[in-house]
A and B are shown apart, each in its own frame.
Chain A
Amino acid sequence: EDQVTQSPEALRLQEGESSSLNCSYTVSGLRGLFWYRQDPGKGPEFLFTLYSAGEEKEKERLKATLTKKESFLHITAPKPEDSATYLCAVQISGGYNKLIFGAGTRLAVHP
């Protein structure tokens, strides 16, 4: 069964304290891996799509990487405004545009 697992469930950081979020997946055939940010009461905001092992993408303080079994979202020198839930999702072969989501990591960055 296709499955996406994110860890940790929650993470508390001090402003400027870098860390990484993990997304591990077990799927029949990966077409793409997506990272989203979601603020309370809002829809997920697109961050990155990764398609093949070894691929990396960066945006401001965020960097996403992909291996054959997992993806990492690295947050460098986070600020309080980076506080949100970060969601990982996979698109599988034969699934068209269906995304299978992990449960998310709730990130809190304190000044």
Chain B
Amino acid sequence: KAGVTQTPRYLIKTRGQQVTLSCSPISGHRSVSWYQQTPGQGLQFLFEYFSETQRNKGNFPGRFSGRQFSNSRSEMNVSTLELGDSALYLCASRATSGRGEQFFGPGTRLTVL
């Protein structure tokens, strides 16, 4: 089975721009979660989508948004980029909302200049 894939792997943007990141979960997985990883804050939860509905949201400003499509693929968008948004953005997929493994993708490295 193919793992979680994320595109693009690397991205460089300037302050004020917006960016869209994509995540394709493992086939058959309906839950996709997004995380931000920085050296100072570690891994922080952004939001989770399950069957195209956002079920949970972390403490991030409204500039961070996401969506999930009927094929479970997910996108996250960051508008009006700030320098502090530079991070590794990770998505994780899980089959259901109960027990079971949760697998991460390789991440998208975003650099904001």
Contact = CB atoms under 8 A, between A and B. Distances in A.
Nearest to B55: A96
B90 A43 contact: yes
Contact of A101 (B43, B48, B100, B107): B43
Given A36-B104, A43-B104, A46-B104, A96 B97 contact: yes
Main secondary structure of the interface of B (DSSP, over half): strand
Contacts, number: 62
A95 interface: yes
Interface residues of B, number: 27
Contacts of B43: 44, 87, 89, 99, 101
Contacts of B94: 97
A85 B104 CA distance: 15
Interface of A: 32, 34, 36, 41-46, 49, 51, 87, 89, 95-104
7 contacts: A36-B104, A42-B107, A43-B106, A45-B104, A96-B56, A99-B43, A102-B42
